Structure 1
Amino acid sequence: MQIKASQKSKLLPQVGRSIILGEDKIALFLLSDGSIAAIEDHCPLTGGPVLEGIVSDHFLYEPMREYKISLLTGDIQPPDEGHMRIYPVTIIDDDVYIEVEG
């Protein structure tokens, strides 16, 4: 099910925006190439939010330990291990829709 999450024009480049859709807390990021990434806003390694992390290209550097997370796959990059849930994003006009289970 797709749910409208935001408007693209309201997102700042490489700055996270937190949204809550049902049970899911999600961090949205407008990337430097104009695409939008949506990832769960809960780190499996630290238990903290990732919203405040630093974005570089298609990677997010977790704010507490600075490990690297792919915003395309959700994979935590070596030497760390783990995976975070990513959400498919569709943009229609200026509206950002996120695919959630439901």
Structure 2
Amino acid sequence: MSWIAIGGTEDIPLRGARCVATPLGRIAVFRTVENRFFAIEDRCPHKGGPLSQGIVHGAQVTCPLHGWVISLETGKAQGADEGSVRTFALKVEGGKLLISSDALVSMTA
């Protein structure tokens, strides 16, 4: 697997997100209060809301449009809601965020 640098860990505030534009869509990169990083598609499976603008709590994000809760670890909707978004491999090396090159190749869910 190859990796692409997308920025530094300091670029994302605790409980915040930033987006990476790809030829096939936007990927939201989140940082939890526990200083963990996750990358998922930036669209809620419900109505396509921008998850990057949602509230991060634990390892989940709440969509700002209709309150759906999405797991940052699995991409699956929580509770009674159904649906999912694609997750992407992400790693941290020396303060740099690296995303799997697979994120730029195929975003089919």
- TM-score above 0.5: yes
The 5 Å alignment of 1:2-81 reads 2-81=3-82
Local SS of the residue matching 1:51: helix
Q: What residue identity is the alignment partner of 2:93?
A: I
Structure having the larger proportion of residues in helix: 2
How far apart, in 1, do the equivalents of 2:90 and 2:47 lie? 26
Runs of 4+ more than 6 Å apart: none
Number of equivalent positions: 102
Q: What residue identity is the alignment partner of 2:70?
A: I
Q: What residue identity is the alignment partner of 2:54?
A: G
Q: How big is each residue's C-alpha offset from its partner over 1:38-92, in whole Å with a ceiling of 9 and x where there is no partner?
A: 1100122112211110000101011111111100000101210001111111111
How far apart, in 2, do the equivalents of 1:100 and 1:82 lie? 24
Gaps of 5+ in 2: none
How far apart, in 1, do the equivalents of 2:66 and 2:9 lie? 29
Taking structure 2 as the reference length, what is the TM-score of the superposition? 0.86
Identity fraction in percent: 28
How far apart, in 1, do the equivalents of 2:83 and 2:34 lie? 26
Gaps of 5+ in 1: none
